[in-house]
Amino acid sequence: MVLIMPTVSTSPGAPTRLTFDAAQACRQLTAIDPVLGGVIQRVGAYAPHNDGAEDAFHRLLRAVIYQQLSGHAAAAIHARVLAALNAGDAPEPAAIDAASESLLREAGLSASKARCVKALARASLDGRLPAEDTLPTLDDATLIDRYSQIRGIGRWTVEMLLIFHLGRPDVMPSGDLGVRKGYALTYQLDDLPKPKQLEQLCECWRPYRSVGSWYMWRALELTE
């Protein structure tokens, strides 16, 4: 399986529909972790935004295209891929599956990404991806397992889907460099915490680790 390490897209989209009370989450986190509470007070309300994709399939498609690219370059390639497919802004898996790898390469995808995009489409057509209407019934671990079996879809990508598309409260993207940097900055650590160490440090944030992680990204922005 080829996995491409992604980068976070900072482009705003529609507000994420949350499955929990964000205000209550912030109050609880502030009570148990005053340092995090200080960041919450400076940043304001928890307000994640999705990337505008209408469903999980198209969010994952976009995530694969955007991996390891700046937002501007990725957006340009994404637009060229959509134009090459000639199937609208939300191409069906069948349209992607029918497209040749050379067509996707000509639109700007690397060979690896072209194969990943086609693998995602094939997985959808084969019924290996959960149907959109079943996603609320599946827990985080199940979705991470199901999606990460697809070529090019790593754990991080699924974690971003859980936080920003599905609005789940307790996702801990411990491998995310931004979260690690934000934590080191916020808690004045000399070194970046390793993923396993970060998981242990953030245990106190349960059941709202998504919220705490989001504020670590925002903590970095406060220094810019």
How far is residue 177's CA from residue 173's CA, in Å, rounded to a whole number? 9
How far is residue 173's CA from residue 31's CA, in Å, rounded to a whole number? 22
Beta-bridge mates of residue 54: none
Three-state SS at 15: strand
CB 51 within 8 A of CB 11: yes
From the candidates 51, 176, 190, 191, which is the catalytic residue? 176
Q: What are phi and psi of 15, to 5 degrees?
A: -60, 140
Q: Which residue has the tokens 């996995």?
A: 3
Joined together, the tokens standing for residue 156 give 């991080």
Calculate the CA 173 to chain-centre distance: 9
Q: Does residue 190 have an active-site annotation?
A: no
The catalytic site residues sit at 176
